[in-house]
Amino acid sequence: MARQQGWFALLIALVISAFLLCINLPFQLGLDLRGGSQLTLEVQALNPNEQIKSEQLEAVQSVLDRRVNGLGVAESSLRTIGTNQLILELPGEQEPSKAARVLGKTALLEFRKQKINTKSEMQRLQRIRSQVNNIDLYKKASKDNKSELIENKKIGEQVNDLRVALGLANSSLNEHDQIDQIRQKVNSEIVELFEPSSLTGSDLVSAGRRQEQNLTSWEVTLAFNQDGGEKFASLTKSIAGSDRLLGIILDGESISEASVGEQFKVAGITGGSATISGNFTAESARELEVQLRGGSLPLPVSIVQVRTIGPTLGVDNIRRSLIAALLGLSLVAIFMVSFYRLAGFIAIFALSFYALFNIAIYALIPVTLTLPGVAGFVLSIGMAVDANVLIFERVKDELRRGNTLIRSIETGFSQAFSSIIDGHITTLISCISLFYLGTGFVKGFAATLGIGVFISLFTALSCTRVLLRFFMSYKSLRKTTNFLSENQLPKQLT
């Protein structure tokens, strides 16, 4: 009796521990349950007639994976679809624009020196760019100003003057698009004023960000490898103290043009580090940092679809899943009690513990729950019920043969053991195969089903046995008619 109570106390301690885990650890919900964003990205070949190779797709996925991790979005998933597409899921992210900005850029970083005798042309283009920036600032500041119409007339005149200065033909574009056109023209002409360079982002080992001394803007810090550091020192040495600038160009856009002081004329800027200043905000500096740390994309990527799933849909999915699970469990409980009487009642206890242990493991590992994952959990309950049915059928067989109740229970467990082990192991093999060979939701299904099958082995062979032995320690419950109807029992036991 004391031994049975000891095992029962240990089981209750496990149940209490599992319950505490469930209420203290947060559950990770997938995109379909929590809501969030899903982006479909298409990898484009450099030559339209070429097919994307599998290794190229893997290389793009690797870079995107690093960028997504750099964004700090928890529980995100990135998987390939077909031969040239990737699906990115960002649970909890209702504004995918930030991720789209970071993921879609190639992030090809180049350090170039200005061509000789282009100082005046560079200054002219920088003045035009400054005027365009001032127009942008003024338009933002005067957005709610009542004198907007009057000022817009002046802005229109300025835009027209800039178009003439750049040699742009008259256009039917609206004012906003004309400003964009001027900005692109200025950028392309500035980039052409720099020489090609062998120092690129591939020579980087890390990137970071920090606030500038004026505390109003941010700068991006870079650290090169040894080869990159030598290239950077040589590059800066060649233009130190001259009127030539060092251009930092990202994806064909000049993001900074810096002069190199005369003090670097002897050895250049050594130390293998540099900073990019370009009036970055904290967010834009963070995005550039993530892109540079993730590396350059080997092939261009375009975002072909952005889908946002609201949290309301996720809540509705959870509610429907819970209703389905509770309804299924209720029907199983009715079946077990109807066919197996007291043993069925005990099985319901064991299955309740089984469900609690499963949920605790999901919170502890943690497991990201999706709808297929919930389906895997519900299916594993069927496996757990099946194990109990195998045991109780063997117990009933032994009772029909005239064995005593206690001996029938022990024999029932030992005879059902091999069948339970065989059934669970074959299912576990399927789960392992699905997990390693499947992707996305299939993995979630395999993970929850596999965990459920593994715990089912423990609850069927341990919890159910402990509960049965504990209840059988009470004489009032130790009756064969609590397991089998009188008309099924041999005459000597009735």
| Predicted confidence (pLDDT) per residue in 52-105, tens digit | 888 888 888 888 887 777 776 666 778 888 888 888 888 777 777 777 777 777
Cα–Cα dist 471/61, whole Å: 56
Looking at residue 114, what is its pLDDT?
92
Looking at residue 71, what is its pLDDT?
73
CA pseudo-torsion sign 209, 211, 212, 217: positive
Cα–Cα dist 73/79, whole Å: 16
Nearest partner of 100 among 85, 108, 90, judged by Cα: 90
pLDDT of 155-175, one tens digit each?
Answer: 777 888 888 888 877 667 777
The pTM assigned to this predicted structure is: 0.59
265 by Cβ neighbours in 10 Å (0-12 / 13-18 / 19+) ranks as middle
Asked whether the beta carbons of 182 and 129 are under 8 A apart, the reply is: no
- 169 in helix, strand or coil? coil
**Low-confidence spans in the chain with pLDDT less than 50:** 149-150
Asked whether the beta carbons of 451 and 361 are under 8 A apart, the reply is: yes
Looking at residue 429, what is its pLDDT?
92
Where do the H-state alpha helices sit in 365-476? 371-400, 405-437, 441-458, 464-472
Looking at residue 149, what is its pLDDT?
47
Instruction: Tell me the domains of the chain and their CATH numbers.
Output: 1-26+311-488 (1.20.1640.10), 109-281 (3.30.1360)
Cα–Cα dist 468/472, whole Å: 6
